[in-house]
């Protein structure tokens, strides 16, 4: 029995208005920059965008997007404290985080993913601003505790790496707070893929790597299985297209469902073989796969199965269907990767 009390919310609380100022952190990154574009498409252009802008390879993610002001991540908290903008901020999307799952310096995650998030949350509490932040399916660890976003089960989770632990630590801190924003949402992003991830390198989605390998050699390299219950290529993940993530984020802002931590996946796990086949199909080439060992530095923390339970978000009123893996990959490859376009 879930301990989360939910009521369906179906009527938008507010609609696009030129005067609505919205803060987006991580705005030059993969998901954040896509969110800026999607907000623009929905009529929201009074945006404050924040990120670490020291990397020129991320600047293209914000080209041709409309926003009021760009503020470096290290200056944002001071800027907010000193009334940086004359119009009140109506909503905060805190998407920014250190997301490198191969980074093992906990101090980096403590500062950027925990303490920084706590400071932004505190600001949202003081100003009574609705607040949405990016959590992660990495909090579920090896999956032995399931993939249930019931608040009562979250303390049981045991992530496998410092990144996952930092997200889990902030989730637990949020759940312990008595002073909260008027509405708040922690979205546990599952395996997100889509445009604007050119800068991510090793941490880009498997689709991005598969497409590049197909162009270079016609062969895609996938990790072997190091567990007998999974055959090579049949490791399973809940892959979700970034455009579906954007819909969930903006739906939360417009409908203001009950506050809480929610899974953000499709609810349907698919194999890496399925993913690679869809990528080959999208470029019209035959499937050729080479299986390679999982690198030693991530082998012990590698997830073999993830699948979001999406009942809670559905009960809260979210009704949109999710893109199938084949639909999402076809759009990503043909509309963006082939032409090197940005969203």
Catalytic residues: 163, 200
CB 304 within 8 A of CB 236: yes
User: What span, in angstroms and rounded, lies between the C-alpha atoms of 269 and 305?
Assistant: 8
Residue 291 sits at φ, ψ, to 5 deg, of -95, 130
CB 232 within 8 A of CB 118: no
The tokens for 84 are: 């940086």
Q: By three-state DSSP, how is residue 99 classified?
A: coil
Exposed, middle or buried by CB within 10 Å (0-12, 13-18, 19+), for 207?
A: buried
User: What span, in angstroms and rounded, lies between the C-alpha atoms of 315 and 106?
Assistant: 36
CA dihedral in degrees (148, 150, 151, 153; nearest 10)? -50
User: What span, in angstroms and rounded, lies between the C-alpha atoms of 321 and 312?
Assistant: 15
Residue 206 vs residues 63, 221, 267, 284, 330: alpha-carbon distances, Å: 25, 10, 19, 18, 14
Bridge partners of residue 291, in order along the sequence: 222
Taking alpha carbons only, the member of 25, 24, 21 closest to residue 86 is 21
- The span from the first CA to the last CA of the chain, in angstroms, equals 41
Exposed, middle or buried by CB within 10 Å (0-12, 13-18, 19+), for 342?
A: middle
User: What span, in angstroms and rounded, lies between the C-alpha atoms of 341 and 107?
Assistant: 36
């Amino acid at each position: 029995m879930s301990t989360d009390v939910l009521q369906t919310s179906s009527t938008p609380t507010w609609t696009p208005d030129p005067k609505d100022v919205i803060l987006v952190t991580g705005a030059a990154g993969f998901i954040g920059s896509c969110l800026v574009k999607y907000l623009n498409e929905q009529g929201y252009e009074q945006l404050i965008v924040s990120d670490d802008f020291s990397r020129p390879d991320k600047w293209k993610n914000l080209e041709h997007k409309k926003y009021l002001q760009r503020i470096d991540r290290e200056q944002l908290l001071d800027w907010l404290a000193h009334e940086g903008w004359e119009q009140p901020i109506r909503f905060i999307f805190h998407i920014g985080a250190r997301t490198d799952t191969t980074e093992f310096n906990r101090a980096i995650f403590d500062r950027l993913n925990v303490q920084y998030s706590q400071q932004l949350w505190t600001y949202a509490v003081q100003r009574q601003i609705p607040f949405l932040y990016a959590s992660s399916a990495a909090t579920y660890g090896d999956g032995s505790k399931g993939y249930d976003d019931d608040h009562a089960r979250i303390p049981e989770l045991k992530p496998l790496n410092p990144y996952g632990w930092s997200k889990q630590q902030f989730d637990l801190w949020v759940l312990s707070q008595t002073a909260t924003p008027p509405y708040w949402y922690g979205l546990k992003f599952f395996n997100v893929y889509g445009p604007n991830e050119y800068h991510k390198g090793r941490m880009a989605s498997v689709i991005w790597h598969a497409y590049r390998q197909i162009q270079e050699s016609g062969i895609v390299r996938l990790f072997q299985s190091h567990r007998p219950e999974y055959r090579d290529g049949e490791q399973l993940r809940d892959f979700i297209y970034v455009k579906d993530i954007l819909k969930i984020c903006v739906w939360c802002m417009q409908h203001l469902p009950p506050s809480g931590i929610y899974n953000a996946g499709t609810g349907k796990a698919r194999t890496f073989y399925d993913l690679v086949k869809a990528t080959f199909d999208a470029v019209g080439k035959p499937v050729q796969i080479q299986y390679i060992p999982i690198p030693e530095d991530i082998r012990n923390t590698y997830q073999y199965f993830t699948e979001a339970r999406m009942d809670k978000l559905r009960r809260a009123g979210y009704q949109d269907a999710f893109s199938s893996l084949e639909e999402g990959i076809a759009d990503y490859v043909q509309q963006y990767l082939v032409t090197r376009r940005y969203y």
